[in-house]
Amino acid sequence: MSRADKKIDSALLLKANASIEAQHDIHRDVAVSRWSIDRNSVAYEKSDSHTLSLYLKGGDTSYRADQKGNPGRAGTLCLMPQGHASSWHIGGPIDFVHLYFSDAILKRFAADHYEQDVRLVDIRDLTYQADQTLSNMLLGYVDCCARQPDRAGLIGEQLLYSIFDHVIGHYNGFEIKESRLKGGLTPRQMKRVKALIADRLETRLSMTDLAAEAGLSPFHFARQFKESFGETPGQHVMRRRIEKVKERLSSDEPLAQIAANAGFAQQSHMTAQFKRQMGITPQVYRIALAG
Going by C-alpha positions, the residue among 255, 194, 248 that lies closest to residue 225 is 194
How much is the pLDDT for 157? 78
Q: Are residues 131 and 155 in the same domain?
A: yes
Do 247 and 144 lie in one domain? The reply is: no
Cα–Cα distance measured from residue 152 to residue 157, given in angstroms and rounded to the nearest whole number: 6
Name the DSSP letter for residue 120.
Answer: G
When divided into structural domains, the chain yields a total of 2
Is 205 within a domain? yes
In the sheet with 40-45, reading across from the earlier edge strand, the strands are 40-45, 85-90, 63-64
Q: Where are the beta strands (DSSP E) in the chain?
A: 18-27, 30-37, 40-45, 50-57, 63-64, 77-80, 85-90, 94-101, 126-129
Burial-class residue 3 by CB neighbours within 10 Å (0-12, 13-18, 19+): middle
User: Does 137 fall in a domain?
Assistant: yes
pLDDT of residue 11: 40
pLDDT tens over the chain, length 291 residues = 334 344 434 444 545 567 777 788 877 889 999 999 988 888 888 888 999 999 999 999 999 999 999 999 999 999 999 988 899 999 999 999 999 999 999 988 888 777 678 888 899 999 999 999 999 999 999 988 887 655 556 677 778 988 999 999 899 987 655 445 567 888 889 999 999 999 999 998 888 899 999 999 888 898 899 888 888 899 899 999 999 999 999 899 999 999 999 999 899 999 999 998 888 899 998 988 876
Residue 140 covered by a domain: yes
Query: What residues contact 291, with CB distance under 8 A and at least 6 apart?
Result: none
Sheet holding 126-129, edge to edge: 18-27, 30-37, 94-101, 50-57, 77-80, 126-129
Domain assignment of residue 181, yes or no: no
Mean pLDDT estimate for the chain = 85
What are the tens digits of pLDDT across the range 104-115? 999 888 887 776
Residue 180 lies in a domain: no
Question: Can you give the pLDDT at residue 97?
Answer: 95
Examine the domain organization and report whether 160 and 75 are in the same domain.
yes
Residues 150 and 212 in one domain: no
**How many Cβ atoms are within 10 Å of 159's Cβ, its own excluded?**
22
* pLDDT per position as a tens digit, 107-147: 888 887 776 788 888 999 999 999 999 999 999 999 888 87
pLDDT reported for residue 154: 61
Instruction: Specify if 179 maps to a domain.
Output: no
Distance of alpha carbon 159 from alpha carbon 153, whole angstroms: 10
pLDDT for the residue numbered 115: 67
Residues 69 and 123 in one domain: yes
CATH number of the domain that residue 59 is part of: 2.60.120.10
- Do residue 71 and residue 117 come from a single domain? yes
pLDDT at 151: 58
Return the amino acid letter for 84. Answer: H
Q: How far, in Å, CA of 140 to CA of 156, rounded?
A: 8
Residues 40, 18: Cα–Cα separation, whole Å: 9
The answer to the question of residue 212 being in a domain is yes
Residue 282 maps to a domain: yes
For residues 35 and 142, membership in a common domain is answered with yes
Based on the fold, state whether residues 164 and 191 are members of the same structural domain: no
3-state secondary structure of 123: strand
Three-state DSSP state, 79: strand
Q: Same structural domain for residues 164 and 199?
A: no
Gap between the Cα atoms of 196 and 207, Å rounded:
12
**Using an 8 Å Cβ cutoff, are 108 and 239 in contact?**
yes
Considering the domain architecture, whether residues 107 and 27 belong to the same structural domain is answered as yes
Residues 165, 207, single domain; the answer is no
User: How many CB atoms neighbour CB 82 within 10 A?
Assistant: 17
Domain that holds residue 26: 3-171
